Structure 1
Amino acid sequence: MSLRRRTFGNAAANIVGVGLTGAAQLATIPILTTVWGPERFGTWLMLATIPTWFALSDLGFGSVAMAEMIAANARHDRDRAVSAFQSVLLLTAIVSTAAVLLAVPLLFAAHLPLVPGWVALHGPVMFVLVGYAAAAVISRLVLTALRSSGFYASSTVVYEIGSCCESMAMLAAAAWGLGFFGCAVVLLLCRSAIVLMLALLLARRVPELRIGLARASVSELRRMLPAAIATTAFPTAFAVNIQGMTLVTGALLSPLAVAVLEPVRTASRVAIQITGAMNRATMPEFATAAARHDSTALRKILAINGGIVVVFMLPGSIAFALLGGTFVGAWTGGRVVPGADFVGLMAAAMFVHGLWHFAANLLLSVNAHLGFARVLIASAIVSVAAAAPAASCFGLDGIAATILASEVMCLAGVCHAGLRSGLGAIRAPARIASAT
């Protein structure tokens, strides 16, 4: 199959995923704001930060393992691919089990001294969400094994359908009258079913890359450690920036302000999700081309990504700046009406984010992202720290301004890292390939 057909198939699968995710997101806000009210919905969003933070539990090894498995498969080194997968699986199982055990006291939070009131009230919910997050991390690792073995499109469609059903089941539970705890249990049960479904698909499609620990190796983990530490910067920075902004907004403004921030931020990322689907589709091909020192394929992939930015990202950002406030108001049935300045700042942040994230994904696909990791972490910490005084002085507009500043900082950092890695001028592909 040609590069173009593989990329098209991967992109189509990702776009299906974006469509399903978008459908779930479109349903989530109006249903939950109606059933729970804007303030309780804001509280749920704050509790839902737990799965995002838990995404760090693989310590960056999941993404590194994918790059390693793709490169190993490109060189027909199946033993190396199995060792990378099972080593990361071992680490994930240990960390996930430890996290669930450490969360057990949350079940009794209401009876423990010196526990904040909101933790005491929602302790059992938080415990179940920790379990859900652990299952989510494992499901993504199994998905990574399928994607890296030539089944990117089919496994992505299966995963996204399962995730959409999970969201819809949670919304049905909320509409039926279940509270936070009941909805968290529904999420856990659905995610466990997704793990089982992906495990069965892996056993059928790639039997040699089976789930097990026989080929797990501490030395393999040690070899992947530098790239994994740098990879952790991505989920860490996103968690600090996205969830940190949510917590700052809720603490300094109100849960109602969170209920304004989240719909606008979600809507602003529609164009990013669509174009990101095409960008992510090129990542396995970019990693394979780098492993084979195929400079022609590398240039084609860079050209594809440049075209996506011009054709989709720029018009999408302009459209959101002009119509985003109207869309969010209609989407929420008039319950959330953001200001024009706030929407404009978020539209600008959306465009800048799309620019740097495209290049960062390509660097990540070949484990050439170490130089960018420090900038990403620094931008997240600085932006959240600056959000507190900005929110106090300018409200939600201050939050949006700090988000935009963070994105600009990331763009400068990824440009520098790309030039150093050779991504900016593919004349010597070995510089990139050496990173794999």
Structure 2
Amino acid sequence: MSVFRRIIKGSGANAVTLTAKTSEQLFLVPILLSAWSVDLYGEWLLISAIPVYFAMSDLGFLQAGSNELARRASQESEENVVRFFREFTAAFTSWSLLLFLVFCLAAILLPLSRWLHLSILSPREATLTFLALALAALVSMNNAALVAGLRVRKLFHIGLLIRAAGAYGRIIATFFLVFFYSATPVEVAMLNLAVRCIEYATCVVVLQTLSLPPSFAILKRRQEKLFPYMLIGLEFMLMPLAYALSLQGLTVVVGTIVGAAAVAVFSTHRTLARMVTTVLQMFVRPLRAEAGLLQRDEDIPALGRLLMRLSRITFWMSVTMGIPLMLFGGIFFRYWTHGRVDYVMPLFLLLLSASFLEGLWSIASSIRLGSNKHRPIVWGFFVISIVGIALAVLLGKIIGNLGVASSVVLSNLAMCVLTIRATTSLLKLSTRQYLGNLVTPPVDEIRKMGRFLKRKIA
């Protein structure tokens, strides 16, 4: 199968996955607000901030190991690939169990309710909700390790579709629990954990049929030296940490500076605005997967052409989607939140601009993040996120949510400059060439995709 066809399949599956995640974010808001008060929903967001960060991350080691697995699949024997994958998954399982133990100790010993200023949920409910969400996040990360195996079997899209099915399952199950059984935050968190476990078991079964089974021998002595990938992973961890600062960290900033009700206002506006980011990221994961398989010097021209093509497509897709959101976002927002959350147009437009910029640098960063050449991106994002949090605190105290949103725009603008320059230099492209490529309508690409889809349907 050609690289272009794999990209199309991967992008289609990633589009389904991103749609599922967006649907989960969009539908869970009215579902939970219909049964919970705005203050209770705000407390749910505060408790889930840290677990959601871990669900988004891979602790760095996973990305580094996945890139190494892709390199071996293209250059080494099948025996080496299978051995590395089994020891890689066993090591990650061990690390996850250790991390969950840390979560348990923290939840028991630390005054979580007092730190987060919770007034509706009891300390026991807050602890149980936090632990269930944390364990679900760790299961999700281990599932991502299994998707790395599907990546080297050229079935990356299958892993994405399994995760998409899980997201839709969580939406449907949460709806029934909340509407028919008046589910509490603890019960919704337990449901989340159960669905994550089903996703994980499904990936295990698929990999068994592909002769690439994961290993659960967490105490067995390993032949592979995984420590170097842990060191690489330490730098990769800066990426999810920076995302935590720029996403979940801002939730905490709003909650502590403006209040729990303001968290609901900020988060709902940001969720709707990030629909543009979702569209722009449709090609991010497939491009990152292919970058890991194209690491030779002679692959640089082809990789550059691939980036230019995909960047152009996603840019124009975001423009097409961003304009209707800008014009009719307020109408949708009021129906979406049942009119229980006030629509603030300046806040939405600021967050919409930030989402557009985030999508631009996300697609460009895929090349470095998929080939262990990540250093300038991850360190830059980490530093920019810290500065962004400080700026959010300063501006948030002055003008509330609008100040926090302004800091998000400036942070993503800085990341655009950094990422585009770092990526174009690696691929021997000029920044002007890359930007000029973005504003060129993707007529040829649309025609090629149309012919491809027409052949598949026929």
TM exceeding 0.5:
yes
Shift of 1:44: 0.8
Among 194, 197, 217, the alignment partner of 1:189 is: 194
The answer as to 2:282 corresponding to 1:300 is no
Per the alignment, residue 177 of structure 2 pairs with: 173
Does the CA contact (< 8 Å) of 1:87 and 1:217 recur in 2? Answer: yes
In the alignment, is the contact (CA less than 8 A) between 1:46 and 1:246 conserved in 2? yes
Distance in 2, Cα, partners of 1:204 & 1:193 = 17
Q: 2:434 matched to which residue of 1? A: none
Question: Could you tell me how far 1:419 is from its partner in structure 2?
Answer: 4.0
The correspondence for 2:141, drawn from 134, 137, 144, is 137
- One-letter code aligned to 1:281: P
Q: Distance in 2 between matches of 1:377 and 1:343?
A: 25
Deviation at 1:362, TM superposition (A): 1.9
Contact 1:372 1:413 in 2 (8 A): yes
Report whether the alignment pairs 1:45 with 2:45. yes
SS in 1 for 2:225: helix
Q: Distance in 2 between matches of 1:422 and 1:115?
A: 47
Q: Conserved in 2, the CA contact under 8 Å of 1:108 and 1:124?
A: no
Equivalent in the alignment of 1:30: 30
Q: Which residue of 1 aligns with 2:445?
A: none
State the 1:243 CA deviation: 0.4
Counterpart for residue 329 of structure 1 = 334
Matched with 1:433 is none
Q: How many residues align?
A: 425
Q: Give the TM-score normalised by structure 2.
A: 0.85
- Corresponding residue number in structure 2 for 1:277: 282
Post-superposition offset of 1:99:
2.5
- Which residue type is aligned with residue 144 of structure 1? A
Task: Write the letter of the residue equivalent to 2:21.
Answer: T
Percent identical:
22
- CA distance in 2 between partners of 1:225 and 1:368 (Å): 15
**Contact 1:83–1:217, Cα closer than 8 Å, also in 2:** no
| Structure 1 Cα separation of the partners of residues 250 and 114 of structure 2 | 26
Equivalent position to 2:152, from 135, 145, 148: 148
Which of 190, 204, 209 lines up with 2:209 in the alignment? 204
Aligned equivalent of 1:429: none
In 2, distance between residues paired with 1:23 and 1:117?
29
User: Superposition pairs for residues 64-83 of structure 1, below 5 Å?
Assistant: 64-83=64-83
In the alignment, is residue 383 of structure 1 matched against residue 380 of structure 2? no
* In 1, Cα distance between equivalents of 2:114 and 2:28: 34
Instruction: Report whether the alignment pairs 1:120 with 2:123.
Output: yes
State the alpha-carbon separation in 2 of the partners of residues 252 and 310 from structure 1: 35
Residue in 1 that maps onto 2:347: 342
Contact 1:32 1:174 in 2 (8 A): yes
For structure 1, which segment, 36-45 or 154-163, has the greater mean C-alpha deviation from structure 2 after superposition?
154-163
Amino acid at match of 2:156: Y
Partner residue, 1:403: 408
2:283–2:314 contact (8 Å) kept in structure 1: no
Which one is further off, 404-413 or 280-289? 280-289
Alpha-carbon distance in structure 1 between the residues aligned to 2:390 and 2:294: 40
Q: 1:115 Cα shift?
A: 8.0
Which runs of 5 or more structure 2 residues have no equivalent in the other structure? 432-458
**SS at the partner of 1:220?**
coil
Question: Does 270-279 or 72-81 show the bigger shift?
Answer: 72-81
CA RMSD of aligned residues (A): 2.8
Unaligned ranges ≥5, structure 1 = 427-436
Deviates more, 1:337-346 or 1:247-256: 337-346
Contact 1:143-1:159 within 8 A present in 2 as well: no
CA distance in 1, matches of 2:7, 2:59: 29
1:370 to partner: Cα distance: 0.8
Q: Does 1:92 align with 2:107?
A: no
Cα-to-partner distance string for 1:140-172 (whole Å, 9 max, x where unaligned): 111222123211122221221023212332332
Q: Using the alignment, how far apart are the partners of 1:210 and 1:418 within structure 2?
A: 34
Q: 1:389/1:356 Cα in 2 relative to 1: closer, same or farther (>3 Å)?
A: same
In structure 2, C-alpha distance between the alignment counterparts of 1:156 and 1:112, rounded to whole Å: 34
Residue 17 of structure 2 corresponds to residue 4 of structure 1: no
- After superposition, the Cα gap between the structure-2 partners of 1:318 and 1:172, relative to the gap in structure 1 and judged at 3 Å, is same
One-letter code aligned to 2:294? A
- Deviation (angstroms), 1:57: 7.4
Q: Distance in 2 between matches of 1:68 and 1:110?
A: 38
Instruction: Give the Cα separation in 1 of the matches to 2:146 and 2:32.
Output: 31
Q: Which residue of 2 aligns with 1:374?
A: 379
- Indicate yes or no: 2:228 matched with 1:223: yes
1:416 aligns with 2:416: no
Q: What is the rounded CA distance, in whole Å, between the counterparts of 2:55 and 2:421 in structure 1? A: 27
Aligned 8 A contact 1:132 1:187 in 2 = yes
1:320 positional shift: 3.0
Change (3 A) 1:361 1:383: same
Aligned equivalents of 1:369 and 1:249: distance in 2? 31
Give 1:264's aligned residue: 269
Q: CA 1:343/1:107 → structure 2, altered by over 3 Å: closer, same or farther?
A: closer
Distance 2:331 2:113 in 1: 47
Cα distance in 2, alignment partners of residues 14 and 174 from structure 1 = 29
TM-score by length of structure 1 reads 0.89
The C-alpha deviation readout for 1:64-96, integer Å capped at 9, x for no partner, is 122112222122433443344334323322222
Q: Structure 1 residues 71 and 107 mapped into 2: Cα distance closer, same or farther (>3 Å)?
A: closer
Q: Give 1:216 shift.
A: 7.2
CA shift digits 1:110-152 (9 cap, x unpaired): 9999987748241122122222222111111112221232111
Distance 2:403 2:258 in 1: 11
